[in-house]
Structures are given as structure tokens and as C-alpha cells.
Structure 1
């Protein structure tokens, strides 16, 4: 059986290659990972709507990140492919955010008009009410809400970071959101 048709064998080889990159800056190990992952990352980005040239540049950036941050890879937390595609996903999100930023000529000039005083008071009251509702959540639910909405992590990223099953993450977040909706009226 070859690494190409045995995922467990392939991941074991990739883990070994990551260790070689981390410990010895091994170019041959990097070349193997690059040959396997770069075209797949590019395809992933194109399927996600990126222009082919942008996808190519982004795939190169992902592979440079793999080289520079090999020391951050932890095989007990994720497979090499999961780690690589998480980097690619984050780069894709960064690209999308950059594309949505307005050009300078699209920006309004001058100060924003002040909100009406009653709107400001209402917004402050809602903010205070939400803060109290968050504090009343069980610690486990509050932590997940903070990671998902303030830390902008996906459910999968939270599961990877906490070691909790993905279904548990989703259930706790759903329960917490229901409690927050109820508290906010």
C-alpha cells in the first residue's frame, strides 16, 4: 500500500515531513508537502470563488506559512491536511475581507452624523442587558459564545482548540443563543 491510497500512511508521512521541516528545515520534506498540497489548496480556493491567479498567490502564501510555522503544528490536535486547509481557509477569509473594503473614493467624507440621543441610550441599554445575560450563562456556554462570536472562530476551530466533540460545541452554542434570545426579550 502506498501513501497515495492509504490516508493513515499518508498522514504519517506528512507528520514525519513536518517534523523534518520543523527540526532541520528539510527542503526535500517541504518539496513533498508542497507537491501534494499546493495544487489542492489552489483548487480549494478556486472552488471557493477566488480568481485563479489570486488562488495561486494564496496557495503559495499558505505553503510559505507551512514552512515558517511548522513548529506550531501539533499532530495530536489535527492531521496535516486539516492544519494546511485551516490555514488556507483563513487566508481565503482574509482575501474576502480585503475585497470588501471600500476604496478611498467610496468612503464618506467628514464626520458621521451623531446618532439621536434616544438611539444612543437604547443601544447602551441593550449592550448592558446583553452583558448581564452573557454573565448569567453557564461558564462552558459563555466560553464557547465568546470564542465563536468575539474570537470569530468556526465551530470546527473551537472543537479543535478545546478537544470537545463538534456536536457538543454546536449544542452548547445553540442552548446559549436560546438563553440570550430569551434574556433579550
Structure 2
């Protein structure tokens, strides 16, 4: 198995800066030789088909050639900058191709809309945090938040149900949400 040489970040920065300064073709060739295969591998590991990864990798290097003057070594390393360009081009490619593919009849119902395990865990964690924060509100604020957000009742209906003026309900909702935000922001 061949082991690739590691990339010298300073050398990559110098190559990009040479391209920016004088459109140095030799610097671009050296940069392309070092980064082209790495970008393609990165794209393939992110689930892109090999032929598409090749195309996006080439487009990435073309963007590097055209926009080398935008590179700022103080903000990020050259490799990070190049991989960010590749990632953005991959996202653009995916968006273009999702829009252009017509959906078959019934495909919308077939799409798996169930949350991933990670999303489920995060949602239950957020829910637990919100419920704990609700416990820190006064009873009148907690009641209004539950009616407004969990029961999805309009403010006017809440006002009639609780026998309160509409302005009072709106104020309590606003104050309760501000307090919830502070509580949640302070939570670890």
C-alpha cells in the first residue's frame, strides 16, 4: 500500500499566494498535484460518486485558480480553504441535482422522514431541558406557555379560558418566553 506524503501547510499557502500574485502555472500544477487527489478522496468519503467527485475536484481547483487572491492565511490554512470550496461546490451540485430530478408519483410518501437516532436523542435532550426550564417559571407563566405552545391555542382563546385581558396574556407569553430563553441560555 502506498503511503502519501503529508502536505506542508506553509508550502500550500505559498503556492496559493504565488497563484494569487502572478498566476504562477508551476505553483498551480504543484498545488493541483498535491490537493486534487485529496479533494476527490474527501468528496468520495462524503458520499459523492467517483465520477462526480472527479468533476467537483477539478471545479474546486479551477475556483482556486480564479479566486486565489481571496485566500487569507490569517483566517485559515490553504488546505482548509480548498476543502471548504470543495464542500460548498458539492452542496451546490447536490441542490442542483435534487431540483432537476422529477419525483415519481407517491415518492413523497415513500421518503423516509423518520428522524435519525442522533436527531431523536438531541430532540429528547432539548425537550427535557425545556420541561425543566418550564418548572422554573411561575405557575401562571407556565400555564400560558403550555396553552399557547403545547395546546396551540390562540391568545384570544387563552384570554377567554383564563378570564384575563388579551393584553395580559400576550405580556405573560412574552415575559415567559424571555425568561425561558435566559434559563436555557444559562443551562450547561
- Normalising by the smaller structure, the TM-score range is 0.5 to 0.7
1:78 aligned onto 2:76: yes
Unaligned ranges ≥5, structure 2: 106-151, 156-173
How far does residue 104 in structure 1 lie from its aligned partner after superposition? Answer: 5.7
The count of residues paired between Structure 1 and Structure 2 equals 115
TM-score (norm: length of structure 1): 0.53
Distance 2:50 2:36 in 1: 13
2:67 corresponds, among 59, 66, 69, to 69
CA distance in 1, matches of 2:10, 2:25: 18
Task: Please give the alpha-carbon distance, in whole angstroms, between the structure 2 residues aligned to 1:29 and 1:14.
Answer: 9
Deviations 1:53-103 (A, max 9, x none): 111110000000000000000000000000000001111111221222154
1:32 paired residue number: 30
The match for 1:47 among 45, 65, 90 is: 45
RMSD, aligned α-carbons = 3.4
Deviations 1:92-150 (A, max 9, x none): 1112212221546869xxxxxxxxxxxxxx9xx9xxxxxx99xx8xxxxxxxxxxxxxx
Match of 1:20 among 18, 21, 45: 18
Query: Any unmatched runs of 5+ in structure 1?
Result: 108-121, 126-131, 137-174, 180-185
TM-score, normalization: structure 2? 0.52
Q: 1:103 to 1:32 in 2, by over 3 A?
A: same
C-alpha deviation, 1:18, in angstroms? 1.2
